[in-house]
Amino acid sequence: MINVIGLGYIGLPTALMMASHGIEIVGTDCNKELIQTLNAGKTTFKEDGLDELFQDAVNTGIKFSTVYQETDTYIVTVPTPYDVFSKKIDAKYVQAAVKCVMEVCLKGSIIVIESTISPGTIDKHVRPLVEEKGFIIGQDINLVHAPERIIPGNMIYELLHNNRTIGADSREIGEKIKNFYSSFCQGEIVVTDICTAEMTKVIENTYRDINIAYANELAKICRSDNLDVYEIIRIANKHPRVNILSPGPGVGGHCISVDPWFLVGDYPGLANIILAARKINDSMPEFVLERIYDIMKETRITDVSRVGFYGLTYKENVDDMRESPTLQMLETMEKHLCGNLVKVYDPFIEIDIIPNQMHDLDEFLEAVDLVVLLVGHDEIKNNMDKLKDKVILDTRKICDLEGTYRL
């Protein structure tokens, strides 16, 4: 039996996928309300195919509990934030989970850290805990890193098809954990050492962050000379070895916007391009606010309450708001005492989390004159005709209506 620790955006789909493929699974989380919801037969976030996968897992016997289980295999999928000042990983949740596992685990147990961690985290923050407890690593407890590689909005497909990396101290343990993941993963599974697995996952997201930053910096450069960055990118991408991304309002989610900071924190003075990319992407919400201000002056819109932000999530067609550029913009506006004035709407966020949040598209559009498109949900793409009489700032390049402003 495998005890999956942490049932959030990564842990829950992973537990469900393994259970639906015949592995005995108990999912554990310290959030009692979350466990009650799952035991009541309901999922805790929206994702295509998740409800069906949940039902398959329930039918094959998955269980949910706040209690750590006495078993020999654990998969830890708890959050891994970073310290806002040092930029180093804050491993407190991983450490807490490992401590709890050690209270109940069987001799020879395997603890798989699936949470994204910075290179050296297991050596610095996990091994010492195990040794302080009196366990011998490799005999009493075996440590493994198997970083997740899925994205909200396409989780089920990516769990099945993405390649995976397993980092372990010994080939034997690595192959054993590989067999568990092979029960459902159709991609290639590479077995390597732990530090290599840690570094590999972090640099994957850092690579993406740097490429996004290049597009965002181009948007700023082109804006300074009133050039169309999208047309320039379109033409440049006709080169056979060029593939520039589209700029956007910022980088959200708990991967691309977080993982590069681990390298900045751990390798000061070396991660220079990475640091520059992070600064560029973190500056984009402020850049969008400046564009809004300029457009308001040009169109003579003086009432901030007639400005509407479409989209609260960090990407299209999901309900994940972690590190959302929209929330970053609202936080900045709050510092200037106007964050509670703009109207905000997102079809995927049903509960009120901020002032002036609306829950009907037509009512939202009726209440605003300037619509800022911050997320490309299918809903708005299919209703562009409703924006014909509005001033539009499109930060996602999804609107082709005449007169639309862009970054």
Q: Which of 109, 130, 162 is nearest to 2 (CA)?
A: 109
Give the bridge partners for 267, in sequence order: none
DSSP letters, 317-334, are TS---TT-HHHHHHHHHH
* DSSP states of 249-309: S---SSSTTTHHHHHHHHSTTT-HHHHHHHHHHHHHHHHHHHHHHHHHHHHT---GGGEEE
63 is catalytic: no
Given the residues 63, 87, 178, 201, the one annotated as active site: 201
Placement of tokens 């989610």 in the chain? 253
Q: What's the rounded Cα separation, in Å, for the pair 131 and 155?
A: 36
Residue 386 annotated in active site: no
Helices 11-20, 50-59: inter-axial angle, 10-degree rounding:
50
Q: Which amino acid is at 234?
A: R
Is there a contact between 109 and 103 (Cβ–Cβ < 8 Å)?
no
The first and second tokens of residue 357, run together, are: 């949040």
Residue type, 334: E
Residues 6 or more apart whose CB falls under 8 angstroms from that of 30 comprise 66
* Active-site residue, selected from the candidate residues 105, 255, 315, 343: 255
* Gap between the Cα atoms of 281 and 283, Å rounded: 5
C-alpha to C-alpha distance for 294 and 297, rounded to whole angstroms = 5
Strands 73-76 and 2-5: parallel
Close Cβ partners of 302 (under 8 Å, ≥ 6 residues apart) = 296
CA 114/CA 93 separation, integer angstroms: 12
Report the amino acid identity of residue 222: C
Rounded Cα distance between 206 and 87, Å, is: 14
Residues marked active site are found at 201, 255
